[in-house]
Amino acid sequence: MSVVITGASSGIGAALAELLAARRKSVVLVARGADALRTVAERCGANALPIAADVTRREDVRRIVAEALKRFGHIDVWVNNVGQGITRAPSQLTDDDIDAMMRVNVKSALYGMQEVLPHFKARNAGHVINISSMLGRIPYALPRTAYTAAKHFLNALTANFRDEVRQTHPGIQFSIVSPPVVRTNFGLNAVYGGVDSRSVADSQSAEDVAAVIAGVIESRAPDVYTRPGSHERVVRYFESVGADPTD
């Protein structure tokens, strides 16, 4: 099995790459930082292909597909794991803020899905996994407004891709994985800075999230939370605002 993982130089992506490599999967590791990426690839072993690229550029994503196919002959799973937060109240958001969140959190995934899709269609086989967030389900973090909106967009886009493609190619699956706060550099790397995600109570480790994603590769489940009780939390939120999430 050949798995492409974007955002693979650290955090969830690196943890997933190492886990899959240990399970004898071939992994294509994608990130902008070549040195950090090379370090992860060395830990993964001979069946790892590091590709330095910016997935917010469509031409780079097209190159990733070509290089992965040249090395491994096929792609079985594509994991869109790139993301960035922002720390700004909704009343203060600028055009540039919104554009940045959409470019990193939505367009990077859109390009991945669109560019790998012809290969998947040719085989009537393949699996896209988009890493979303609990914030893509419930808007509970005010300073993360634009990021939250981008993840809601990503969830809708993923579901609509699934509905479109399965009409003609039922062997292709699109999955959403929704973790809570994860103990990575995500908070510190947010636009305008932010709280260290490692200091947030009830956060989850990158290794735990990676294990859930690896399970989704096997199960091909369409919509998965990485922590027990998350679905119930979403239901309680909608009940609290007078909405029925089952409607």
Active site residue 225: no
Residue 128 backbone class (left: φ over 0; alpha: ψ -120 to 50; beta: rest): beta
CA atoms within 13 A on the CB side of 99: 3
Strand-strand pairing, 77-80 and 172-178: unpaired
Start-end of H helices in 178-224: 206-219
Catalytic option among 147, 192, 225, 237: 147
Closest alpha carbon to 133 in 203, 198, 218, 55: 203
What is the DSSP track for 91-133?
Answer: GG--HHHHHHHHIIIIIHHHHHHHHHHHHHHHHT-EEEEEE--
* Sequence-distant contacts of 193-201: CB under 8 A, at least 24 apart: 193/87, 194/85, 194/87, 194/143
DSSP 46: T
- Whether the Cβ atoms of residue 13 and residue 86 lie closer than 8 Å to each other: no
Segment (H or E) for 7: none
Q: How far, in Å, CA of 149 to CA of 164, rounded?
A: 23
Q: In Å, what is the CA distance from 109 to each residue of 4, 116, 168, 174?
A: 12, 11, 21, 11
* Catalytic center residues: 147
